[in-house]
């Protein structure tokens, strides 16, 4: 019977685990790549007005650049690139992805029209979709089950920190360009500040690609294709994942609903603070950025370490017990309708990010432990498809629809956030609990 712990390490003739130094080097490189990936992804939030002025774009068009141009392509391309991570050398998949998204970011800096920038952003999405499936597959093959949580959390931390880095680094680059500090420099000296920022981020990707090329390729473990080492055909790999539906179905759904809450909360908290309490944009950016990073680090690295200790006592499925506990706190944190002051709003946001990140980090770790070695990339790419599909399509839009068509009060943003996030958090928590019960049934020696 298949188990969550994959007793391949105990099996006769199983290859030894890579040295810890080599395994953690891979995690460190992937974390750096994740920071850069999210910086490239998020920096457009600082460039709205200069892009509108330079390219004569509308707010709707800039919104498409931030959302659909990147995220929809990312979600769809992720399936193919997840499969590529299962059948090709994963290190090469990552290197190619970093090079593609870096060159595409460079192209964004030189775009002369909205459609040119739209196309370049789409290519950024294609490149970035290569990172998570291949990186998670390598991490799973580099660490035994009782150390994967911390390693996975460290990698995911890069994604969380990347959003804050995008604001800090992007702001510093723009300020330097606007002050004339870059005047006379090759490549970027003559560019408009917003273009210089994109070009610099694109150039930073090239040394990161070189770093990724140094990551050793560990031997794949737990191959459904057997001792031949040949990966399963796509249909067979998908069939093996489908056979795990009692755990995977509630787990995928729980992570998707959690992502929906992420978009609803983080996209509308600034508006809530401005309209309800009159908080300034600068204060919101600084405090909310710090809160998101703190909650995310605790939920990824901190929860990963705790989950690894739980595995030693209760088996690999016990990780999901921590996800359920964190989400119970997350339910309370969606009650923005009751928040009487900005500090409490920030605190609720931090608790939610901790809960959501804990669930996502543990969910992805469990997926990797369940999936055959030649379907791990595919399993992670499905997470991206569901999370971005639900989050992008519904998370940011539903509070606006409730405000406009149900509450008819533009100041009732807290109520709109709660109306979306509370039921989703309740259902997500129940789904994590269902996944836990199903995982316990198969997590047996």
Residues 275-316: tens digit of each pLDDT:
899 988 667 777 887 888 889 889 988 888 888 888 877 777
Q: What percent of the chain has pLDDT over 90?
A: 35
The pLDDT of 254-274, averaged and rounded, is 89
Helix (H, G, I), strand (E, B) or coil at 355: helix
Cα–Cα distance measured from residue 349 to residue 41, given in angstroms and rounded to the nearest whole number: 22
pLDDT beyond 80 at 101: yes
CA distance 280 to 335: 22
Query: What's the pLDDT at 230?
Result: 63
pLDDT of the residue at 296: 87
Give the C-alpha distances (Å, rounded to integers) separating 102 from 44, 107, 125, 350, 372: 15, 9, 11, 31, 31
> What's this model's pTM, rounded to 2 decimal places?
0.76
Burial of 97 (0-12, 13-18, 19+ CB in 10 A): buried
Residue that wins the pLDDT comparison between 375 and 144: 144
pLDDT of residue 52: 81
DSSP 8-state code for residue 111: -
Q: State the pLDDT confidence band at 7, using cuts at 50, 70 and 90.
A: very low
pLDDT value of position 1: 39
CATH assignment of 232-445, among 1.10.1670.40, 1.20.1250.20, 1.20.58.220, 1.10.3720.10: 1.20.1250.20
Mean pLDDT confidence for 52-76: 76
Contact 154, 27 (CB under 8 A): yes
The predicted pLDDT at position 4 comes to 57
Query: Which pLDDT score, from 0 to 100, does residue 240 have?
Result: 80
pLDDT at 64 over 90: no
Look at residue 3 in the predicted model and tell me its pLDDT: 54
Residue 300 backbone phi and psi in degrees, to 5: -95, -65
The mean pLDDT of 126-153, rounded to a whole number, is 88
In this model, does residue 8 exceed pLDDT 50? no
Residue 271 has pLDDT above 90, yes or no: no
Confidence of residue 343 (pLDDT cuts 50, 70, 90): very high
Domain map (residue ranges) of the chain: 17-219, 232-445
**Mean of all residue pLDDT scores within the chain:** 84
The answer to whether 263 and 391 are in contact (CB under 8 A) is yes
Q: Tell me if domain 17-219 and domain 232-445 are identical in fold.
A: yes
Q: At what angle do helices 281-297 and 148-178 cross, to 10 degrees?
A: 160
Domain 17-219 -> CATH class: mainly alpha
The residue-averaged pLDDT of 418-429 equals 97
Q: How far is CA 84 from CA 32, 214, 328, in A?
A: 22, 19, 37
Task: Name which of 66, 70, 166, 155 is nearest 357 in CA terms.
Answer: 155
What local confidence, expressed as pLDDT, does residue 59 receive? Answer: 64
The per-residue pLDDT for 163 is 65
Residue 351 predicted with pLDDT over 50: yes
């Amino acid at each position: 019977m298949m188990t969550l712990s994959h007793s391949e390490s105990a099996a006769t003739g199983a290859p030894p685990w890579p040295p810890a130094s080599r395994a953690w080097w891979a995690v460190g490189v992937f974390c750096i790549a994740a920071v850069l990936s999210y910086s490239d992804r998020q920096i457009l939030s600082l460039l709205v007005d200069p892009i509108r002025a330079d390219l004569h774009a509308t707010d709707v068009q800039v919104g498409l650049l931030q959302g659909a141009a990147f995220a929809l392509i990312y979600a769809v391309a992720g399936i193919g690139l997840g499969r590529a991570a299962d059948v090709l050398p994963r290190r090469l998949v990552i290197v190619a992805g970093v090079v593609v998204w870096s060159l595409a970011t460079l192209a964004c800096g030189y775009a002369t029209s909205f459609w040119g920038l739209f196309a370049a952003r789409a290519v950024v999405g294609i490149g970035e979709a290569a990172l998570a499936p291949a990186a998670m597959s390598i991490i799973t093959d580099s660490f035994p089950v009782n150390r994967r949580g911390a390693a996975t959390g460290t990698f995911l931390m890069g994604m969380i920190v990347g959003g804050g880095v995008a604001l800090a680094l992007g702001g510093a680059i723009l300020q330097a360009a606007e002050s004339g500090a870059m005047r006379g420099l090759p490549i970027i000296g003559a560019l408009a500040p917003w273009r210089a920022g994109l070009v610099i981020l694109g150039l930073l990707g090239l040394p990161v690609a070189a770093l990724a090329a140094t990551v050793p390729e560990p031997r794949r473990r737990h191959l459904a294709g057997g001792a031949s080492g040949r990966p399963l055909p796509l249909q067979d790999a998908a069939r093996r994942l489908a056979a795990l539906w009692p755990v995977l179905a509630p787990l995928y759904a729980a992570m998707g609903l959690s992502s929906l809450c992420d978009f609803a909360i983080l996209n509308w908290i600034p508006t809530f603070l401005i309209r309800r309490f009159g908080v300034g944009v600068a204060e919101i950016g600084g405090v909310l950025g710090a809160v998101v990073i703190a909650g995310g680090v605790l939920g990824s690295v901190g929860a990963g370490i705790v989950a690894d200790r739980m595995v030693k006592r209760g088996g690999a499925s016990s990780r999901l017990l921590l996800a359920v506990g964190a989400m119970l706190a997350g339910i309370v944190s969606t009650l923005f309708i009751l928040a009487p002051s900005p500090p409490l709003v920030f605190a609720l946001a931090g608790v939610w990010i901790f809960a959501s990140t804990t669930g996502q980090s543990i969910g992805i770790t469990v997926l990797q432990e369940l999936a055959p070695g030649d379907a791990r990339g595919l399993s992670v790419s499905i997470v991206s498809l569901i999370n971005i599909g639900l989050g992008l399509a519904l998370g940011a839009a539903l509070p606006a629809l409730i405000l406009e068509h149900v509450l008819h009060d533009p100041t009732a943003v807290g109520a709109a956030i709660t109306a979306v996030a509370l039921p989703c958090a309740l259902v997500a928590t129940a789904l994590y609990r269902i996944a836990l019960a199903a995982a316990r049934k198969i997590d047996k020696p």
